[in-house]
Every structure is written in C-alpha cells, then in structure tokens.
Amino acid sequence: LGNDWTNLRGTGARIKGTGVESQGIIPFLKVANDTTAAINRSGRRRGATCAYLETWHYDIEDFLELRKNTGDERRRTHDMDTANWIPDLFMKRVRADKEWTLFSPDDVPDLHHIYGKKFEEQYENYERLAEEGKIRLHRKVKARDLWKKMLGMLFETGHPWITWKDPCNVRSPQDHVGVIHSSNLCTEITLNTSEEETAVCNLGSINIGRHVHDGRLDLAMLKESATLAMRMLDNVIDVNFYPTVEAQRSNFRHRPVGLGIMGFQDALYGLNINFASEACVKFADESMEAVSYYAILASTELAKERGTYASYEGSKWDRGILPLDTIDLLEQERGERIDVSRSSTLDWSVVRSAIKKHGMRNSNCLAIAPTATISNISGCTPSIEPIYKNLYVKANQFGDFIVINGALVDDLKALNLWDESMLKKIKYYDGNIAEIEDVPTNLREKYKETFDIEPQWLIRAAAARGKWMDQSQALNIFYKGSSGKEINDIYLYAWEMGVKTTYYLRTLAASQVEKSTVSTAEFGSTHKRATSKSGDTAPINMATHDVMPSPVASPQGPLPPPSPTVMVDGKEVKLCKINDPTCEACQ
C-alpha cells in the first residue's frame, strides 16, 4: 500500500473540538507501522506499506527520521517504507539557496491538491500571510539544509525515497478528474486518489530480453506480447477482488493498467551494448517507444471492442495529448528546459488516429515495477537495472544456490577462458571482473556490475524511457561512494531531466563475506583487503581451508553432474546448474 499522510495536521496545530494541540502525524504513523507488521499475506509475505509526505508539511523533519536506528523507538517505523512527495518549487529553492516555509495542512488546506504554477502562486501567498502574522503555526528553514537532511537520511537508511509531485501531475493523462497525491509501495504508480477513490493498478511485465533475436529487437514479437498483455490486464480489472468500495469504484471508472518491462540488461547483452553508453540510452528510448506504441494501440482496440473507460471524456487522450507531448507541458509549468530528446522512430499518427476514432479502454497503460521476484521465476535480470552481481548466492526455503551470469560464461567460453581457475577468480572478486586482467577489456566493460556504472547513466536511460510513459518507473539509484555533494548532484540531475520518481538509494557495505571456496593461500584473504599507500587494494594472506568449486555450465552447455555442491561453514550448499528443468528458478 502507498499511503498519503499530508492532509493530517502538524504537531502543535490546535484541535478546535477539544482545545488542545495535535501531536502531529508521527504517533499515528507508528500505529500504521505496527499494523503493517501484524499483517501476514497468505503466510508467504509480510505486509508492506509506504507513507508519503509533502515537503512543506510542518512535521517533515521528524518524518525524515522515521527509519533511523537510534532515538525514541516510539517515533520510529522500522517496518514501513517512507517517501518524500516534493514540489518543483522546493527544488528551485534548493538550487537558489533560499528559505522554505513549513505549514500545517489545516492552515493551508488547498496546497496538497494543486500543483505547478498554481501551487507556486498559492504557496508564496501563504508565506506572505505567515509573515503578516495571519498563520500562527509555521516555521522557516533553509531549503538546502532540509534537502541535505533528506539526502543524509536517504544515504543512512535508504529512506525516505525521493519522488516529485509536479512531473507526476502535469504529465498525468487524468488531470481532468483529480490529483495524484502519492505513489505506491514501489514508486512506479502515479494515479489519482481522493476520499471517494483509492487508486488500484494491475501490473504486468514483458521480458524484453526474450524479444531480442539475431542482434535486434523483434518488433513483431513485441507487438504480439504487448497486445496480449494489455488484454490480460484489462480482464483482471473485471475478475479481481476489491476489498473496499473506493478501490472498486476507482478501478472500474478509470481501468488503469501498468505494462512494463524486465530483462533490460539481458536485452543489452543480446545486442552487445554496454549499459554505460549512449547506445544504451538510445535502446532504452526506442524499446520503450515500441512497448508504449503497441500498448496504447492495444487499448484503442479494446475500446473499439468493449467501449472506452468511464472517465475518458476530457482526458489528455481525448484532447489528443500523448505522453511524449507532456514533456513540453512540464517545461512550461517549470519555466525551464528539460533536456530530453523528443525524437521518435515509429509513426505515431497511426496511434493518434486510432485514439481519435475509438478512444481508450484504459486511463493509464504503462508503468515499470521492480520485478524482483518474477524476474527470478522468469530467469531474467530484474526490471530496468544493470546486473547487480555476476556471481551471487540465492537463498530460499530449499537452501542456498550459487548463481552465475550465464551470458558472461558464454562469452568466456567462446574465448576459451572459462575454467576452474577463472571461476575461482570471479569468486574472489565477488563476481566483479573489472580487476581480472585475463578478461579482455571489452568484456569487462560489457559485464560491469551495478555499482561500477555511474548513476547518471541509469537516470539518462530512465528519462529517455519515461517520455513514452503515462506512469513512472521504480528507479533504484546505485552509488558506491559517500560524498554528499555527489548524491546531491545525482538527485538534482534526475529532477532536471524530468524523472517522476526514484526508489531506493543502494550503497555498498563497508566489508565483505569470507569465502570458504577460494584458496587464501593462492589469493589472500577474501574477508578484507589492505590499502596500500597509493590507494590500491592488496590482499592480506591469512591461512584457511580451500574447497574446490564444482563446474558450472552455461545455459546452452551440457548439464553438470547431479546436485553439485560445496561445503560452506561445514554445511553442504548446492550450486546452481544454470539450466535445470527441475530447478524452481530455471522453470
């Protein structure tokens, strides 16, 4: 669940009925946190909730500290996610090093329900009233100090996530019937909510890697997949169970769905494109254009067959405005340039004509979810992210499984470089091949892991992809440094590029796990590495036992012997066979 908390009055606001002061939102968020922890979904997954708060709320500074591991536990929510809902005006104040005023929503009741230029005008009007003494409860802070605290908490705890109110609303196709007050648990859904309607979105993801054949994206296959997926998602709306009247009312009235992609990194492997490259940005642009093109066309076909959604009249679709057109609208509201190309490769006049003739079956068609679990089931890389590790251990109820990047294995085999010695080197470096000199430079570039790729490449790809989308993307930011300035630059760049939302800020641990399957007599300690005077890392030799690894086959190669295992801490651990019909991941 994604919850909007901005409407609740701030700490110290007067409650007219009792004549006492409000305790603000924090005690109630603690109740929501404990409720979330108490929920067990069918015995398989814990309850999950994300609370959103707009940046001008009087309790924003306490909200930022909800996930801290220190302080008063009665004011901490360790079992609930949090996210900032940030207006563009705040980002402008940060950049200009100006002051920012915090209000209680009972004094400024309309601020949460307006956006863009209208928000800026009304916010500044409330600031004038506060200076004149007409608004009792308010507080001024330096915008940069608040932003610094937001980023500091994000680095320390991974929360609150950074999401932007204005791009979500200005670019929404449903601006005629309501306001987007928050996103969902994973920040990819941007739908209207109100007292009468609880937004619901039905998600599906196309494995884009499976649509790359012979070094190119198979558009005919992608069209077939997107068309079928849209029909399936539209069917879900009718057969679904709705726990509340508000949820059912919203879904039946607007019929939103979110078709996205996964296996983006697999597609890049198939095309021999490096993630940190202009070619990747170009492919992100063109591949999402194709998904958007066929998904929207499919919705028009469903409208022809089943009728348009109830609130279609007056929507951006009805007004002839497509997602690509809304980048210009965002520029106008901000009053500054958004450096995203408006180019296209397909004939969008066909889509415009189809919408004009048949309308749309679904208010929203596109969203990219994290896909962590279904990517594992499908055997592809998650969502739109670079590969996290070329070698890792996956744990589930059946045990621990060592998983290696099959594409890397194939390329090493083609060069006669795949052997037991290479596997041990890859293990020693935790899957990172950047420091293995035996591996050619072009492969080291191709198989860079997430933390070796500058975050700006992920943002550029997301911005290019986002221009075709009517919702958003669960965009994780991966950063291996600790510079506050660099983190500031990353998120400021994302906002300037028109990105709607971001998800977790992922950072590296300060230490690594000791490996019992790598010989420390040969490689040195795998638990820590000493730093030389030049700053380079050098292994520290520590005596320990050596366990020989079992061979690992590529997806196209022969299956390894049954149940290959290694001993870790005295326990037998299974090795992934990569292509095993009996394995739950391979299936």
Which residues are the active-site residues? 184, 186, 188
Number of helices and strands (H, E) in the chain?
19, 22
Residue 113 per-residue DSSP state? G
User: Which segments within 47-107 are labelled E, that is strand?
Assistant: 50-54, 81-86, 99-103
Strands 2-4 and 50-54: parallel
Distance CA 150, CA 164 (A): 13
Query: Which two structure tokens, joined as six digits, stand for 489?
Result: 């630059």
Distance CA 63, CA 86 (A): 14
Query: 541 in helix, strand or coil?
Result: coil
CB 172 within 8 A of CB 183: no
- H-only helix segments in 511-560: 520-523
Exposed, middle or buried: residue 119 (CB in 10 Å: 0-12, 13-18, 19+)?
buried
Measured from the Cβ of residue 418, the count of other Cβ atoms closer than 10 Å reads 21
CB neighbour burial string for 241-258, b if at least 16 within 10 angstroms, e if fewer: eeeeebbbbbbebbbbbb
What are residue 258's phi and psi, to 5 degrees? -135, 95
- CA 27 centroid distance within chain: 28
Residue 180 carries which side chain, given as an amino acid letter? I
The helix or strand, by DSSP H or E, that contains position 573, with its residue range, turns out to be strand 571-575
List C-alpha distances in Å: 364 to 189, 234, 283, 473.
10, 11, 23, 14
Query: Which two structure tokens, joined as six digits, stand for 310?
Result: 């109830």
Bridge partner residues of 571 (DSSP):
568
Distance CA 40, CA 89 (A): 40
Query: Which two structure tokens, joined as six digits, stand for 223?
Result: 């069209």
Residue 140 per-residue DSSP state? E
On the CB side of 534, CA atoms within 13 Å amount to 3
Bridge partner residues of 201 (DSSP):
none
Distance CA 428, CA 525 (A): 9
Distance CA 545, CA 526 (A): 12
CB 84 within 8 A of CB 53: yes
